Amino acid sequence: MILIVGGAGYIGSTVNKELTKAGFKTVVFDNLSTGKKELVKWGEFFEGDLGNIEQIREVFDKYPIEAVLHFAALKAVGESVVEPEKYYLNNVANTLNLFKVMREKGVNKFIFSSSAAVYGEPKYNPIDESHPLSPISPYGWNKAMVEQIMKDYSHAYDFKYVALRYFNACAAEPEAETGEWPGSSANLIPLVLDAAIGRRENIKIFGTDYPTEDGTCVRDYIHVVDLASAHILALKYLLSGGQSNIFNLGNGRGFSVREVINMVKKVTGVDFAVVEVERRPGDPPILIASSDKAQKELGWKGENADLEKIIIDAWNWHKKAVQLINSNNNI
């Protein structure tokens, strides 16, 4: 059985669905602080908190767990700067609770949801796994620290891990059964979709004078279904005896902020207001992944790299989720 920590969230719930389709039995462990019970549609559910070590022991005692996928983390980069203690406690200290129980129970296979935030300002693009780690936020340091802890565990104990460094996770699985909950993050695509659906007055472009083709920042967007397939391949890699490893996950090409906004207008048919404002501090002009290593060693390839496909899937889910929110508010 596979334990999905944070499986009621955006990426965790999508991975849960894909794991179930691939024939795995799953149990979701989530405290529902940001996750939604409505997104736990596959496998078993155990409500618990990584800050409570007894609850972690309880889920390991109740189910025959053979591997752990860890998605439970606070992820607002800006908030991490003003509330670092909250982030270090939740994202680092609580992960150590999970590792402690895994060792107690003899479970030694772990897949970690890491981030391109470990790289900080890019020294070159596309960014490969050997790029220096230089986080510029407590959130980025959280991810880098857990990676170091896993490396130390791997050397000292019988512990095998895969860290998957995501670039910009986006979209939703095509059946729109799960996705990113509107209003739950500051990610560009859901914010632009909120403008299209009327939940925001406008969308802001922070900086139009970057050294890019249209002057706006360029990011590497990876469809959440492609992220999920990478997790399944990483799990199979560990279960078949693979050694501890780290992989970037991105498409190797980028889309600008303006390209994303224009595609949302095209897909939705809504011409919402766009406001151009000054740059934000700490926004690199371009962030693009090299995922060559994942392709070579895991056999992974992003199948949903087309921007129109990404926006169509995101929009179908967004409309459905907003309907759910509105109907709940009317009860």
Residues carrying an active site annotation = 139
Q: Is the dihedral of CA 6, 8, 14, 19 positive or negative?
A: positive
What is the Rg, in whole angstroms, of the alpha carbon atoms belonging to the chain? 19
**Omega into 182 within 30° of 0, i.e. cis?**
no
Residue 204 parent element (H or E): strand 202-206
Write the Ramachandran bin of 202: left for phi over 0, alpha for psi from -120 to 50, otherwise beta.
Answer: beta
Tell me if 266 sits within 8 A of 312, measured CB to CB.
no
Is the separation of the CB atoms in 116 and 127 below 8 Å?
Answer: yes
Q: Nearest-CA neighbor of 317 among 164, 204, 205, 184? A: 184
Longest dimension (CA), the chain: 57
Q: Which DSSP state fits 284?
A: -
Going by DSSP bridges, is the β-strand pair 67-70/245-249 parallel, antiparallel, or unpaired? Answer: unpaired
Tell me how far apart the terminal alpha carbons of the chain are, to the nearest angstrom. 37
State how beta strands 218-219 and 255-256 pair. antiparallel
Residues 321 and 41: their CA atoms lie apart, in Å, by: 15
- Tell me if 166 sits within 8 A of 237, measured CB to CB: no
DSSP code at position 181:
P
Spatial distance between the Cα atoms of 39 and 177, rounded to a whole number of angstroms? 8
